[in-house]
Amino acid sequence: MTTPTPTPGIHHVTCIAGDPQRNMDFWVETLGLRLVKRSINQDDPSTYHFFFADAEGTPGTSMTFFPWGDLPQGKVGSGQVSRTAFRVPEGSLDYWEARFDQYGVDYDARVERFGDEARSVSENASGDEPRAETVLPFRDPDGLPVELVEVEIPDDDPTVPWTEFVPDEYAIRGFHSVTLWVADPEPTKDLLRTMGLEEIGTEQAQGDTPGDERTRFAASGSVGRYVDVLPTIQGGRQGHGTVHHVAFQTPTDEDQESMRAAVQSEGLRPTAQIDRHWFRSVYFREFGGVLFELATSDPGYASDEPLDDLGGRLVLPGSFESRREEIEAELPDVTIPRAEPVEADD
């Protein structure tokens, strides 16, 4: 088997929400992400698909939602992405706690991870090791578990903060990590190694986590580069407030095909490549039951709307455009939150 090009990290995370307006208000206004695409679920065009990201929809920044009003409340458990974590600049968690108080967000006390008690895996090739970090856990209005993690943002960071609601010194800067809950971690860990991630450390799980050991894997990129694996037998159920799938970056078709072949040779059953309009995708369920996707970097969210106008119109990919009137009539109205214009002093 040829070794696939290692994935640089997470591309996007897709979740299930309830009410579309409540979802939009929280992710755009409260958290300050940019609505970079307003579209439909290509398998169910009576449901929206919202994409919230940084200012340019950089790979590794987009959190996407299907607001499926008819589904029941879900339960986070084994075989799911249990936590999705975002990067925020060092020293910004005081701002976020104050903002969460102002907006009535349900958050927990901060957690320290990978501090003195952590064990690093010293023999890994990159010499990378987990750094002590401070985490602010909270839930979105559907109960989806989310975390903010303080990191040092380098000057040449690939993400571009969106500052309509949150100033750039505090703004979310793409994904930090996802945490996978699986009944048997070993096959999942082997798959992550196949995908080019490297085990960099372990620690005793703490806080709102069921397993006894958190194992951290690192990818080669700078955004969305961590995947944590925790063992749990706690059963889950897909529904509001749960993650549907996590997509990893395979920047080119060649990268994607080599990764697809590697995953298949591990005994998994990846789909053929599917055109998702803003990227091309392959899907497979990993050994622990989590739905994984591989997504290309191109053509990207700015391929069908000017950068300045991202999210401004309902985008209907391919043949859906010819059914626009019928599709729009089925969708509930939503208003995109806009910051108040700043009053001139004169």
Spatial separation of the C-alpha atoms in residues 274 and 294, rounded to whole Å? 10
- Phi-psi label, residue 340: left if phi above 0, alpha if psi -120 to 50, beta otherwise: beta
- Asked if residue 199 binds Zn ion (CB under 5 A), the reply is no
Amino acid at 193: R
Least Å distance, CB 108 to Zn ion, is: 28
- Asked if residue 188 binds Zn ion (CB under 5 A), the reply is no
Question: Which residues from 229-248 bind Zn ion, rule CB under 5 A?
Answer: 247
Q: Which is nearer to Zn ion, 255 or 293 (CB)?
A: 293
Q: Which is nearer to Zn ion, 105 or 247 (CB)?
A: 247
Spatial separation of the C-alpha atoms in residues 53 and 39, rounded to whole Å? 14
Least Å distance, CB 247 to Zn ion, is: 4
Spatial separation of the C-alpha atoms in residues 37 and 63, rounded to whole Å? 11
> Tokens for 315?
């985008």
Least Å distance, CB 14 to Zn ion, is: 5
- What Rg, from alpha-carbon coordinates, does the chain have? 19
- Asked if residue 61 binds Zn ion (CB under 5 A), the reply is no
Least Å distance, CB 294 to Zn ion, is: 10
Return the SS3 of 178.
Answer: strand
- Asked if residue 56 binds Zn ion (CB under 5 A), the reply is no
Q: Which is nearer to Zn ion, 239 or 337 (CB)?
A: 239
- Asked if residue 219 binds Zn ion (CB under 5 A), the reply is no
Question: Which residues from 13-52 bind Zn ion, rule CB under 5 A?
Answer: 14
Size of residue set near Zn ion by CB under 5 A: 3
Question: Which residues from 264-323 bind Zn ion, rule CB under 5 A?
Answer: 293
Spatial separation of the C-alpha atoms in residues 278 and 266, rounded to whole Å? 28
Least Å distance, CB 243 to Zn ion, is: 11
**Residues 240, 186, 75: CA angle, nearest 5 degrees:** 15
Q: What is the DSSP letter of 195?
A: T
- Asked if residue 228 binds Zn ion (CB under 5 A), the reply is no
Return the SS3 of 166.
Answer: coil
Q: Which is nearer to Zn ion, 35 or 166 (CB)?
A: 35
Q: Which is nearer to Zn ion, 177 or 209 (CB)?
A: 177
Spatial separation of the C-alpha atoms in residues 73 and 324, rounded to whole Å? 30
Count, residues in the chain: 346
Q: Which is nearer to Zn ion, 76 or 295 (CB)?
A: 295
Q: Which is nearer to Zn ion, 176 or 244 (CB)?
A: 244
Spatial separation of the C-alpha atoms in residues 7 and 22, rounded to whole Å? 33
> Tokens for 133?
């970090």
Which stretch in 10-18, 218-226, 304-312, 330-338 sits in contact with Zn ion by CB under 5 A?
Answer: 10-18
Least Å distance, CB 279 to Zn ion, is: 8
Least Å distance, CB 130 to Zn ion, is: 27
CA 79 to chain centre: 16
Q: Give contact residues for Zn ion (rule: CB under 5 A).
A: 14, 247, 293
